Amino acid sequence: MQNFSYSKAESVEQAAAMGGRFIGGGTTLVDLMKQGVEAPTQLVDVTGLPLATVETLPNGELKVGALVRNSDLAHHETVKAQYAVLSQALLSGASPQLRNMATTGGNLLQRTRCPYFRDTSYTNCNKRNPGAGCAALGGHNRMMAILGTSEDCIATHPSDMAVAMTALEATIHVEGPKGKREIAIADFYRLPGTTPNVENALEPGELITHVTLPAPRKESKQVYLKLRDRASYEFALASAAVVAETSGGHIRYVRVALGGVGTRPWRAHEAEAALMGKPAKTEHFRAAAEAALKNAKPQSENGFKVELARRCIVRAMTMATA
């Protein structure tokens, strides 16, 4: 680990003006610093800022502070009752100890688990060393993405929480040297393209202050289904976040997002289009799953993810419309 300076921000304005690298729970950043993957020279601890509350706004939206711990958010009464997909996604991630440390802002910005990215003995990683190539292409790629990949990077986005927030159509609020702005989660994560080192829409020095979720859809049923190699403490091979409303046995509203298969939390617009207005029946779930994976590009070791993700969608839709 290289030397770095450490300071604790006393206000949001001060943090936004300080530059440097923010640290929340530290469960991603400190690991990467120890591994030599990241070497920030200035750490700005934001954990003392007043951004750790969850509140319902007058317009019905839910405001989640960037410093709300993953465990607190998962067990928050409103989240459990009205945004169940988010609670389930959070509880499916990491371990209780990690969730007690991890923050909402840090979770959104966690970095890929691609082993070549996290092992500096491999120099050929375009995300870490732009222009150096991609060791995962033609290497071990069982865990890699099948949607949104490019010739320069096939790394999977690892967050469960962000997949649920994608299905809930969250908005991310930031504050930086140029002031405040808000970014729809659909616009927050970048596809790798030719610049996999650019992962999101944040500009230098911008601090995530909070996330807002639209007013709850009280008639909806919500499911986060995560399929993985072992029952806990493991990243997704494929996951599906579903928010669905039916009436008269027909689907009247549906949002589907996928995890474990995309280079970013993956909104399955094609699946939603195939489901809207249809009877809540397996044949339509299957057709939607086919549509969602139509453009999948599997690698040498992860072809199984295509059918796994399809079955994940079918199962999650079955649960959400039961």
Ligand X SMILES: Cc1cc2nc3c(=O)[nH]c(=O)nc-3n(C[C@H](O)[C@H](O)[C@H](O)COP(=O)(O)OP(=O)(O)OC[C@H]3O[C@@H](n4cnc5c(N)ncnc54)[C@H](O)[C@@H]3O)c2cc1C
Containing H/E element for 164? helix 161-167
105/148 with CB nearer ligand X: 105
> What are the Cα distances from residue 26, in Å, to 32, 151, 197, 228?
10, 31, 20, 25
The C-alpha atoms of residue 280 and residue 109 are separated, in whole angstroms, by 35
Q: What tokens appear for 4 in the block?
A: 């770095």
Instruction: Provide the mask over 110-129, with x wherever binding to ligand SF4 is found by CB under 6 A and - wherever it is not.
Output: --x-x-xx-------xxx--
CB-based contact 171:212 (threshold 8 Å)? yes
Contact between 261 and ligand SF4 per CB under 6 A = no
Site for ligand X in 224-243 (CB under 6 A): 235
Least distance from C-beta 124 to ligand SF4, angstroms?
Answer: 7
One of 9, 22, 64, 260 touching ligand X (CB under 6 A): 22
- The answer to whether residues 6 and 84 touch, using CB atoms and an 8 Å cutoff, is no
CA–CA separation, 255 and 263 (whole Å): 19
| Nearest-CB residue for ligand X | 106
Distance of closest approach, residue 110 Cβ to ligand SF4, in angstroms? 13
Task: Please identify, using beta-carbon distances, which residue of 84 and 208 lies nearer to ligand X.
Answer: 208
Closest distance to ligand X from the beta carbon of 29 (Å): 4
Per-residue interface string for the shown chain with ligand SF4, residues 71-100, x marking contact by CB under 6 A: ------------------------------
Q: How far is CA 237 from the centre of its chain?
A: 14
Spatial CB neighbours of 233, under 8 Å, sequence gap ≥ 6 = 94, 95
Interacting residue ranges for ligand X, rule: CB under 6 A: 21-29, 31, 46, 66, 70, 93-94, 98, 101-103, 105-107, 109-110, 158-161, 207-208, 235
